[in-house]
Structure 1
Amino acid sequence: MSPTDPTGAPDAGGAPDPTRASSARPSAATGESVLSVRGLTKSFGGTAVLQGIDLDVARGRVVAIIGPSGSGKTTVLRSLNSLEVPDGGTVTLSTGQTLDFGGRVSRRELLILRDRSSMVFQHFNLFPHMTVLQNVVEGPIRVQRRDPEEARAEARALLARVGLESKADAYPSELSGGQQQRVGIVRALALRPELLLFDEPTSALDPELVGDVLTVVKELADEGWTMIVVTHELEFARRVADEVVFMDAGVVVERGTPADVLNAPRQPRTQQFLRRVLRPLDE
């Protein structure tokens, strides 16, 4: 992964220093693309889940993907982290390298794609037999071959950021759901990714714990992290995202600013979805 300078600003290909705060998105104004997706397709058992997805993510920007269950939102994220291999389409990285899934994509290319992003999962996916600290440093030490002492020091600083420094030696079973998800975010940050992927980060949490996790995600957005967030929290998308993408049945139905998509959607399917989601309880 790319190193970061002591100020916390990203270098030519990297992310902000995960242990430091910044008041602005350092590179968003340049419009530099971190990821460009064209015509992404994926089927499972003959069922088309993604049907030609186009997506552009500029450095320092936050893209929120919303839509009904089964619309393909999670499959998009998993495809961008090589957890799923698309059937077709291309993904172009900030380096200029293009992976063409219509042809043969090598294991090395898939690893390059995975190494540029980190995933925060809906159900935490922490290793139950490892302590919090061990969960966080596993990737930096074993995968990225970083110095163990450096990795542990950075992990402790990240845990302190989210109020979990005292839980470094605890096991996941000893934590609340909100604490586990914050550990999941720290684990993703510890890999110093160029792109953070969040898959419904609050959907497995009790309502009273949702705010703590969303606060952390908003702080990361404010610091300049490039993120794609699959979420059902529409007010969060309104406040944090630079672009909202509405998906349904494996296609992008509508995209635009939060004000455009959430306040004045143009497409009938988007309008129908928002009416159902935002319908008052007494109707």
Structure 2
Amino acid sequence: MLEVRGLHKAFGDHVVLSGVDLTVTPGQVVALIGPSGSGKTTVLRSLNGLERPDAGVVRIGEVSVDFGARPSRALEDSLRHQSAMVFQHHNLFPHLTVLENVTEGPVRVQQRPRAEAEAEARSLLERVGLADKADAQPHRLSGGQQQRVGIVRALALRPKLLLFDEPTSALDPELVGEVLSVIKELAEQGWTMLIVTHELAFARDVADQVVFLDGGRIVEQGPPAVVLGEPTQERTQQFVERLLRPF
């Protein structure tokens, strides 16, 4: 579903990604972990077209882009449409209702009939327990509810790949569980997902593969039992122990 080869990105003299290779198979859940500034979010933004890599090949589904070959804007847009992202701060439009937030992309970007988009949006909202909030404004929702709307908005685009950028980091601790439970249900339903997270216990329970990124490079990757339970690299060991045994 996703294949990344030799992904590079720098901001001026600051190198953020230095030759990242990554593969995610259909239906697989991959957790991307690492310290702040390691390049995790830049990986997601590069896949979703929010950042343009300096070099590297990215393939999602049947669409492949070689960023070192100066691809056309149309090809980059085609790649962007293969995935959908859920952000840390949900980024809902405050002047639109929940239903309007969810249908904005399908109607305006994908040119789908409004009635069809609204019917699917209501069905998705019901699946995450928010059917009664369709006509509410975002400011009337809790943080957890807003993030669930953010997830529904991504699902409504019918992406091949779901990208999550620390979806619980901006939530109060008591609201984290309701968002993680939705993501776990998506995993059980077979969605292909790449999740940036600091919730290592969640990654251990849900992910098929865990990738540890540090300094813009992949240091270690493998099943959760290995990367989080018996990491082979010293840097991974230090990171995992600090997060799982913070005191």
TM interval, shorter chain, is over 0.9
- Is the aligned partner of 1:41 residue 2:37? no
What SS does the corresponding residue of 1:102 show, helix, strand or coil?
A: helix
Correspondence for 2:189: 223
Q: Is the 8 A contact 2:56 2:66 kept in 1?
A: yes
Correspondence for 2:61: 94
For 1:233-244, list aligned pairs within 5 A: 233-244=199-210
Could you tell me which of 129, 133, 143 is aligned with 1:167? Answer: 133
Correspondence for 1:199: 165
Could you tell me which of 50, 69, 73 is aligned with 2:36? Answer: 69
How far the C-alpha of 1:279 sits from its partner, in A, is 2.3
Could you tell me which of 232, 243, 251 is aligned with 2:198? Answer: 232
Could you tell me which of 77, 85, 89 is aligned with 2:52? Answer: 85
Deviation sequence 1:231-276 (CA, Å, 0-9, x none): 0000110010000000001000000000010000000100111121
Q: Could you tell me how far apart the structure 2 residues matched to 1:72 and 1:243 are?
A: 18
Supply the AA of the counterpart residue of 2:159.
P
What SS does the corresponding residue of 1:129 show, helix, strand or coil?
A: coil
Q: Could you tell me how far apart the structure 1 residues matched to 2:193 and 2:42 are?
A: 16
Q: Is the 8 A contact 2:61 2:160 kept in 1?
A: no
Q: Is the 8 A contact 2:61 2:82 kept in 1?
A: no
Correspondence for 2:92: 126
**More off after superposition, 270-279 vs 181-190:** 270-279
Could you tell me which of 100, 108, 116 is aligned with 1:150? Answer: 116
Q: Could you tell me how far apart the structure 1 residues matched to 2:244 and 2:30 are?
A: 21
- Is the aligned partner of 1:272 residue 2:238? yes
Supply the AA of the counterpart residue of 1:60.
G
What SS does the corresponding residue of 2:228 show, helix, strand or coil?
A: helix
Q: Could you tell me how far apart the structure 2 residues matched to 1:273 and 1:35 are?
A: 26
CA RMSD, 1 decimal = 0.8
Could you tell me which of 7, 10, 21 is aligned with 1:54? Answer: 21
What is the TM-score of this pair, normalised by structure 2?
0.98
How far the C-alpha of 1:280 sits from its partner, in A, is 4.8
What SS does the corresponding residue of 1:263 show, helix, strand or coil?
A: coil
How far the C-alpha of 1:98 sits from its partner, in A, is 2.7
Q: Give % identity.
A: 68
Q: Could you tell me how far apart the structure 1 residues matched to 2:37 and 2:79 are?
A: 24
Q: Could you tell me how far apart the structure 2 residues matched to 1:250 and 1:35 are?
A: 19
Supply the AA of the counterpart residue of 1:144.
Q
Deviation sequence 1:149-188 (CA, Å, 0-9, x none): 1110110111111111111111111111100000000000
Q: Could you tell me how far apart the structure 2 residues matched to 1:56 and 1:105 are?
A: 21
Q: Is the 8 A contact 2:200 2:244 kept in 1?
A: no
Correspondence for 1:188: 154
What is the TM-score of this pair, normalised by structure 1?
0.86
Supply the AA of the counterpart residue of 2:19.
G
Deviation sequence 1:62-105 (CA, Å, 0-9, x none): 0100000000000000000000000001112322x431111212
Deviation sequence 1:205-236 (CA, Å, 0-9, x none): 00000000000000000000000000000011
Correspondence for 2:83: 117
Supply the AA of the counterpart residue of 2:111.
R
| Runs of 5+ unmatched residues, structure 2 | none
